[in-house]
A and B are shown apart, each in its own frame.
Chain A
């Protein structure tokens, strides 16, 4: 035994005698993780979260979450002598007098934007590959929760400096609260400690942003990761990969090196962005006062779609019996997002109800093999993108020489018309891709080489694809439409017959696919 081994042994013994760690470490150090770049998207989100914790803690050492009015006397000339809140003044102090302060502010904000981008891209990967199916439904719901909380946390975060742009955003949030029927004005006065803007809001959201939400995040992310750990990661279809195994690399040392290295990569890229690209230059926005506003006021991108929905809303309010209900605020601000997030969270259950599939799935779907799900996702994405673009309609208008009026009408009509078009187009695209796969399996790859037959005919030589590729293209299962009966054996109509009819209809749509290559097809080919 070398000296190093002796020391390691002593330490390990000390810990194990107190915790019994050897047992679970032995099992887990060899845990197998499948390797694909798209599995790193969730990691980008995780690492961005850690970066947020680190940079955020740094900022809390200097930030003053108070709205009491101070007169600025720092080094930024254009604001000298101006009245502003202590929160804004301390943000300026961090930006200009604390060395590395501006860098940390920018790292924190860029990491927040990257965090949300990574969550969305990761969500898209999980959705389009069907990784949310049993047994991973809980994880999906946790993920949707993380997405929602992330949006709130980001909004609260960039509202803390109390600058003109974010203050305008807070005013809009306050208008949404105030618009709630019956309780709106009370909730608004409680949240703001009185009238808007008051002096209580920034200190309160500071507590939420720095303590409550990060705590909830830590808990949710821990459960999210533990579930992935325990259920083992899914894997893409391929040779040797089955529902009953995991093919990949062991945790120690390969995966640890790669995943750990990727943390440094993410941090490095975030720091690079923060060095070369300015973000949230609050000294240019000025301190918040309700009498001022800037042209081209937008929230951060992950709230842009909400702003876009509010902008395109028709001007509908109900004035009745001395009361007012602002549908033009409630529908785009609360009801539509509520429907979207609820639908998103419940999707695994909706899909399993449609398909009737109650089995465990650990092999991912290739999106083309589930045309209905893929098309539905494309539809939802189109909806969100139209809303997002409308959120920046004034800047898009001035950049591309359009009018905000044109953008508004494009969005109002587009958001209803474009998603169904996206659905149809995507579904057709998936089916054509399935057909292309089928051709590839049956006829092989086109080599582009022509051969002249003795009869004078020209044929293109096809090269048969490898057995591995053929397996990858045909291993998927094709959904079978449900055929639930609406009458029982004696012809009596069942309760829930309408629900069953709907379910049948939907599962038939879900099962639309180009039939896979089967033995019969192969036999026919042979005799070609």
Chain B
């Protein structure tokens, strides 16, 4: 205690206290706002479709309509298929938290079981793209990295950038980065064309070609920073920024 009172008026006391307060508030907030696991359900008794319907009515129908017909602010879900549901809800994009020009990925609200139930329910009302099975996603075996790179650069790089880091679209929309995205979601996105992304039909981009693309994306993700810090892998903008700050800064520092 004497220690505290002795240093009460030290110069560093205020900043340290501030940091401590920020830390305390921050951790309290994040702990308190962690999503709680949903209760074990009386749902477990129903079939998956019935489960899905329940979740849908509670969490989705206010925008997507009671019969999936859509509304002024949400598209119809008839025919989007299980793959769309798995993608949108599994990545947390749906349900929407903030209706803006683009719906962002965020921590999913529903757990795996619930997502599966929703997907089965939506698919039961109208046929659509299926969720890819694990067997069909064996990109290591069935894909070709080099071919995937060529396919990516022709079909994907103009939105997602040459190293799949993401890119700008019009009016504040953007193509997100593919780093850290599971193979299943990449496959589903190509097939269902979420939001601004177009659909890549299996006939024009075959399933093998899609696997090659995934294999290449995973290879780029795993590739170490070969020449040094990668500076974001977005090209000359960050390189120019570095030379104008660190580069000339170091040299003028020595000169002075």
Q: How far is the CA of A102 from the CA of B242 in the complex (A)?
A: 19
Contact: A296 with B229, CB < 8 Å?
no
Chain A residue at smallest Cβ distance from B172: A403
Q: Which residues of A contact B147 (CB under 8 A)?
A: 81
Q: Interface size on A (CB < 8 Å)?
A: 63
Cα separation A301 to B239 with both chains bound (whole Å): 8
Instruction: Please choose the segment from A128-136, A393-401, A416-424, A519-527 that sits at the chain B interface, where 4 or more of its residues have CB less than 8 A away.
Output: A393-401
The yes or no answer to B168 lying at the interface (CB within 8 A) is: yes
Q: How far is the CA of A295 from the CA of B254 in the complex (A)?
A: 38
**A397 lies within 8 A of B234 (CB):** no
In the complex, the chain A residue whose C-beta lies closest to that of B233 is: A284
A295 to B229, CA, bound (A): 21
Residues of A within 8 A of B174 (CB): 397-398
Cβ contacts under 8 Å, B145 to chain A: 77-78, 80
* A300 contacts partner chain B, Cβ-Cβ < 8 Å: yes
Q: How far is the CA of A95 from the CA of B248 in the complex (A)?
A: 26
Residue among B163, B225, B233, B235 with max Cβ neighbours from chain A (10 Å)? B235
Asked whether A273 lies within 8 Å of B247 as measured between CB atoms, the reply is: yes
Cβ contact within 8 Å between A269 and B250: yes
Among the stretches B44-52, B54-62, B119-127, B154-162, the one at the interface with A is: B154-162
Q: Which residue of B lies closest to A117 (CB)?
A: B248
Whether A276 and B228, one on each chain, are in contact in the complex, defined by CB atoms closer than 8 angstroms, is yes
In the bound complex, do residue B255 and residue A404 qualify as a contact, i.e. CB atoms below 8 Å apart? no
Chain A residues touching B, majority SS = helix
- Check A113–B255 contact: CB distance below 8 A: no
Report yes or no: A278 in contact with B231, Cβ–Cβ below 8 A: yes
Closest chain B CB from A353 CB (angstroms) = 34
- Closest-CB distance, B172 to chain A (whole angstroms): 4
- Measured between beta carbons, the chain B residues less than 8 angstroms from A300 are 236, 239-240
Q: How far is the CA of A293 from the CA of B160 in the complex (A)?
A: 10
A110, B229: Cα distance in complex, Å? 14
Cβ-based interface call for A29 (8 A): no
Query: Can you name the residue of chain B whose Cβ is closest to the Cβ of A83?
Result: B150
Neighbour of A405 across the interface among B158, B170, B216, B237, CB < 8 A: B170
Interface residues of A in 110-137 (CB under 8 A from B): 110, 113-114, 117-118, 121
B167 / chain A contacts, CB cutoff of 8 Å = 294-296, 394, 398
Q: A residues within 8 A CB of B159? A: 295
Cβ contact of A37, chosen from B161, B223, B255, cutoff 8 A: B255
CA distance A379 to B193 in the complex (A): 47
Contacts of B168 in A (CB 8 A): 295-296, 394-395, 397-398, 404
Distance to closest chain B CB from A338 (angstroms): 24
Q: How far is the CA of A266 from the CA of B243 in the complex (A)?
A: 13
List residues of B (198-256) whose CB comes within 8 Å of A's CBs.
Answer: 216, 219-220, 223, 225-231, 233-237, 239-240, 242-244, 246-248, 250-252, 254-256
Does any Cβ of A come within 8 Å of B175's Cβ? yes
Q: How distant is the Cα of A297 from the Cα of B165 in the complex, in angstroms?
A: 13
| B150 close to A37 (CB less than 8 A) | no
Q: Does A350 contact B (CB under 8 A)?
A: no
Shortest 6 CB-CB distances between A and B: which pairs? A295-B167, A301-B240, A278-B227, A403-B172, A394-B168, A294-B162
Which A residues contact B (CB, under 8 angstroms)?
37-38, 40-41, 44, 77-82, 95, 102, 106, 110, 113-114, 117-118, 121, 164-165, 262, 265-266, 269, 272-281, 283-286, 291-301, 304, 392, 394-395, 397-398, 401-406
